[in-house]
Amino acid sequence: MKRDSRLSSVLHALLHMAERGEPMTSETLAACMCTNPVVVRRTMGLLRDAGLVASARGPSGGWQIVADLNAVTLRDLYDALGEPTVFAIGNRHEAPQCLVEQAVNAALDDAFAEAEALLLDRLGKITLARLSADFNRRYAAHRTRT
Amino acid sequence: MKRDSRLSSVLHALLHMAERGEPMTSETLAACMCTNPVVVRRTMGLLRDAGLVASARGPSGGWQIVADLNAVTLRDLYDALGEPTVFAIGNRHEAPQCLVEQAVNAALDDAFAEAEALLLDRLGKITLARLSADFNRRYAAHRTRT
DNA sequence: GTTTCATGTAACTTCAAATATTACGAATTA
DNA sequence: TAATTCGTAATATTTGAAGTTACATGAAAC
């Protein structure tokens, strides 16, 4: 299976944008994430629909954060991306006739639902501001070392 | 992404085997799970390697549970399957140079690790015996209704 | 107002991982 | 020895994410 890395990607992009302060083109963002401008536009487009970033066309255009870094959590990003499937493990059939399979599914669904709830709760507690601060700590430490 | 449904599959198979009491061929199991005998053999083979089931060749051969249903948890099955990847969401790069991406990955890794730990803990608390009992409750209820 | 730059998006291709299939060898029972 | 069943290699299919190509649309700069 190929894992969905969009959450990781948009976070990477957003922190770079936060550092920069001025609009960044999808080309620039794609370069710093080793991907393709179209992929960036597609993904950032979802964040724009959610009101988190703004895009502008033409010269001096590009992408910019419009939300308050203290107010945006990773959960918000997850939601903006369309609440992608969390687990790579799932039931064989979703609504089986077989009573055995129903019992199996019920047990698995419970456990996975609990884990998903915990994950989303954790994501809801991490703000972009905190990640940005974390990055700046790492940056300072890095400059000290070298 | 295509989700891994082997945990669901082997559970389904094991409960059928528990009900039956005598060996079941991979062909029979495949039929009741709408899949292929070879797939069954491959997957059940992992459980055999873990000492949970036994296989016998030739006429009157097939698959049988050899473990105590009270002692086997879903976590044991997960382990027997080789601890498959839990999440369909992941980091873009695993060991990035970029400090921004390192900060992002660290935050995500934490949240996902917590959720995974909770999931495995839950799986470790569900025994095959409990699932079997759950099935029998459903079966009784079903017979009452019809 | 024309040129240039950048997004918007449809259509298609590639890639990775699970699952399915075919084929045949090896072991076991009757 | 014939029938049955597992063991397993090799290959194909399927699914969904990611990447690519192509071109239309809109905005700024001159």
For chain A, what are the domain ranges?
Answer: 5-144
State whether the beta carbon of B99 lies below 7 angstroms from any atom of strand D: no
pLDDT of res. A143: 87
The mean per-residue pLDDT over the stretch A89-117 comes to 94
In the predicted model, residues of chain B with pLDDT beneath 50 are none
Partner residue opposite B86 with nearest CB, options A89, A107, A108? A89
Mutate one of B104, B114, B123, B134 to test the A interface: name it (highest A CB count within 10 A).
B104
Partner residue opposite A104 with nearest CB, options B88, B122, B131? B131
pLDDT of res. B110: 95
Alpha-helical (H) ranges within chain A are 6-20, 26-32, 37-49, 74-80, 99-123, 128-145
- Assess contact for B104 and A131: CB atoms under 8 A: yes
Q: Is the pTM of this model over 0.90?
A: yes
Q: Which nucleotide minimizes the distance between its C1' and the CA of B41?
A: D6
Q: Is the ipTM of this complex over 0.90?
A: yes
State whether the beta carbon of A92 lies below 7 angstroms from any atom of strand D: no
pLDDT above 70: residue A29 = yes
- Assess contact for A24 and A14: CB atoms under 8 A: no
Q: Does B42 touch chain A (CB under 8 A)?
A: no
Q: What is the CATH number of domain B5-144?
A: 1.10.10.10
Q: Does A15 touch chain B (CB under 8 A)?
A: yes
